[in-house]
Amino acid sequence: MSDTAVAHGHDHAHDHDHDHDHDHKPTGFRRWFMSTNHKDIGTLYLIFSLTMLFLGGAMALVIRAELFQPGLQFVDPHFFNQMTTMHALIMVFGAVMPGFVGFANWMVPLMVGAPDMALPRMNNWSFWILPFAFSILLLSFFVPGGAPAAGWTLYAPLTVQGGMSVDMAIVAIHMMGISSIMGAINIIVTTLNMRAPGMTLMKMPMFVWTWLITAFLLIAVMPVFAGAVTMLLTDRHFGTAFFNPAGGGDPVLFQHIFWFFGHPEVYIMILPAFGIISQIIPTFARKPLFGYSSMVFATAAIAFLSFIVWAHHMFTVGMPLQGELFFMYATMLISVPTGVKVFNWVTTMWRGSMTFETPMLYAIGVVFLFTMGGLSGLMLAITPADFQYHDTYFVVAHFHYVLFSGAVMAMMGGTFYWLPKWCGHMYNETLGKWHFWLTTIFFNITFFPQHFLGLAGMPRRYADYPIQFTEFNQWSTVGAFGLGISQLLFVYIIVSTVRGGKKATTEVWDNPEGLEWTVPSPAPFHTFDEPPVVK
Partner 1 sequence: MVFPRMVFPKPVKTALNKLAVASTLLTSALFSGLAQAEYRLNFQDPVTSVAREIYDLHMLIFWICVVIFVVVFGFMFYSIFAHRKSKNYEAAQFSHSTKVEVIWTVIPSIILVLMAWPATLVLIDMEDTTMSDLTIKITGYQWKWGYEYLDSDISFYSTLATPREQIDQFDEANAVPPGENYLLEVDNYLVVPSGRKVRALITANDVIHAWWIPAFGTKKDAIPGYINELWFNVDEGKEGLYRGQCAELCGKDHAFMPIVAKVVTGEEFDNWVASGGTSFAADAIAEAVDGLEAAVAEVAEVAEQAGDAMAEVVEAVVPAADAAAPEPTVSAKTWTKDELMEKGAAVYQTRCQACHGPDGKGLPGAFPAIAGSEVVMGDRDAQIDLVMFGKAGTAMAAFAGQLSDEEMAGVLTYQRNAFGNNVGDVVLPADIKAKR
From candidates 4, 132, 350, 491, binder to partner 1 by CB under 8 A: 350
Residue 429 annotated among the catalytic residues of the structure: no
Residue 278 annotated among the catalytic residues of the structure: yes
Q: Residue 8: which residues within 8 A CB-CB, separation 6 or more? A: none
Is the separation of the CB atoms in 534 and 197 below 8 Å?
A: yes
Which entry of 31, 341, 398, 425 is annotated as an active-site residue?
A: 341
Report how far apart, in Å, the C-alpha atoms of 328 and of each of 11, 242, 385, 490 are: 58, 27, 11, 40
- Is 512 an interacting residue with respect to partner 1 (CB under 8 A)? no
Residue 313 annotated among the catalytic residues of the structure: yes
Is the separation of the CB atoms in 218 and 184 below 8 Å?
A: yes
Residue 211 annotated among the catalytic residues of the structure: no
- What CA dihedral angle connects 421, 426, 429 and 434, to 10 degrees? -70
Which entry of 235, 265, 357, 386 is annotated as an active-site residue?
A: 265
Q: How far is the CB of 275 from partner 1 (least distance, A)?
A: 18
Scanning 26-34, 266-274, 323-331, 413-421 for contacts with partner 1 by CB under 8 A, the matching segment is: 323-331
Q: How far is the CB of 172 from partner 1 (least distance, A)?
A: 19
From candidates 208, 409, 463, 494, binder to partner 1 by CB under 8 A: 463
Question: How far is Cα 82 from Cα 86, in angstroms, rounded to an integer?
Answer: 6
Cβ neighbours of 200 (radius 10 Å): 8
Residue 263 annotated among the catalytic residues of the structure: yes
Report how far apart, in Å, the C-alpha atoms of 499 and of each of 242, 422, 438, 512 are: 54, 12, 24, 25
Residue 180 annotated among the catalytic residues of the structure: yes
Nearer to partner 1, 1 or 321 (CB): 321
Nearer to partner 1, 26 or 459 (CB): 459
Interface with partner 1 in residues 168-227 (CB under 8 A): none
Residue 140 annotated among the catalytic residues of the structure: no
Question: How far is Cα 443 from Cα 437, in angstroms, rounded to an integer?
Answer: 10
Interface with partner 1 in residues 153-172 (CB under 8 A): 155, 157-158, 160-161, 163
Q: How far is the CB of 529 from partner 1 (least distance, A)?
A: 32
Nearer to partner 1, 7 or 375 (CB): 375
Scanning 42-50, 428-436, 454-462, 491-499 for contacts with partner 1 by CB under 8 A, the matching segment is: 454-462
Interface with partner 1 in residues 240-269 (CB under 8 A): 245-246, 249-252
Question: How far is Cα 45 from Cα 126, in angstroms, rounded to an integer?
Answer: 10
Q: How far is the CB of 43 from partner 1 (least distance, A)?
A: 32
Report how far apart, in Å, the C-alpha atoms of 395 and of each of 61, 306, 384, 387 are: 19, 18, 15, 12
Greatest Cα pair distance, the chain, in angstroms, is 68
Interface with partner 1 in residues 46-105 (CB under 8 A): 65, 68-74, 76-78, 81
Nearer to partner 1, 99 or 249 (CB): 249
Residue 460 annotated among the catalytic residues of the structure: yes
Nearest CA to 304 out of 333, 343, 280 is that of 333
Q: How far is the CB of 290 from partner 1 (least distance, A)?
A: 6
Question: How far is Cα 265 from Cα 224, in angstroms, rounded to an integer?
Answer: 11
524: helix, coil or strand? coil
Question: How far is Cα 409 from Cα 436, in angstroms, rounded to an integer?
Answer: 9
Residue 338 annotated among the catalytic residues of the structure: yes
- Is 29 an interacting residue with respect to partner 1 (CB under 8 A)? no
Question: How far is Cα 145 from Cα 164, in angstroms, rounded to an integer?
Answer: 8
Question: How far is Cα 123 from Cα 71, in angstroms, rounded to an integer?
Answer: 48
- Is 507 an interacting residue with respect to partner 1 (CB under 8 A)? no
- Is 150 an interacting residue with respect to partner 1 (CB under 8 A)? yes
Interface with partner 1 in residues 385-404 (CB under 8 A): 385, 387-388, 390-392
Question: How far is Cα 532 from Cα 535, in angstroms, rounded to an integer?
Answer: 10
- Is 317 an interacting residue with respect to partner 1 (CB under 8 A)? yes
Which entry of 85, 159, 165, 180 is annotated as an active-site residue?
A: 180
Angle between helices 470-499 and 38-66 (to 10 degrees): 150
Question: How far is Cα 474 from Cα 67, in angstroms, rounded to an integer?
Answer: 8
Residue 517 annotated among the catalytic residues of the structure: no
Amino acid at 361: L
From candidates 53, 172, 218, 289, binder to partner 1 by CB under 8 A: 289
Buried b / exposed e over 326-343, threshold 16 CB at 10 Å, is bbbebbbebbebbebbbe
Scanning 221-229, 384-392, 430-438, 519-527 for contacts with partner 1 by CB under 8 A, the matching segment is: 384-392
Nearer to partner 1, 53 or 463 (CB): 463
Question: How far is Cα 280 from Cα 107, in angstroms, rounded to an integer?
Answer: 13
- Is 384 an interacting residue with respect to partner 1 (CB under 8 A)? yes
- Is 310 an interacting residue with respect to partner 1 (CB under 8 A)? no
Q: How far is the CB of 382 from partner 1 (least distance, A)?
A: 5
Cβ neighbours of 57 (radius 10 Å): 17
- Is 336 an interacting residue with respect to partner 1 (CB under 8 A)? yes
From candidates 196, 455, 498, 519, binder to partner 1 by CB under 8 A: 455
Nearer to partner 1, 219 or 378 (CB): 378
Report how far apart, in Å, the C-alpha atoms of 94 and of each of 293, 447, 491 are: 32, 22, 17
Nearer to partner 1, 205 or 424 (CB): 205
Check residue 91 and report its DSSP letter: I
- Is 351 an interacting residue with respect to partner 1 (CB under 8 A)? yes
359 to 378: interface string for partner 1, x by CB under 8 A: -----x--xx--xx--xx-x
Positions marked catalytic: 87, 116, 152, 179-180, 263, 265, 267, 278, 312-313, 338, 341, 460
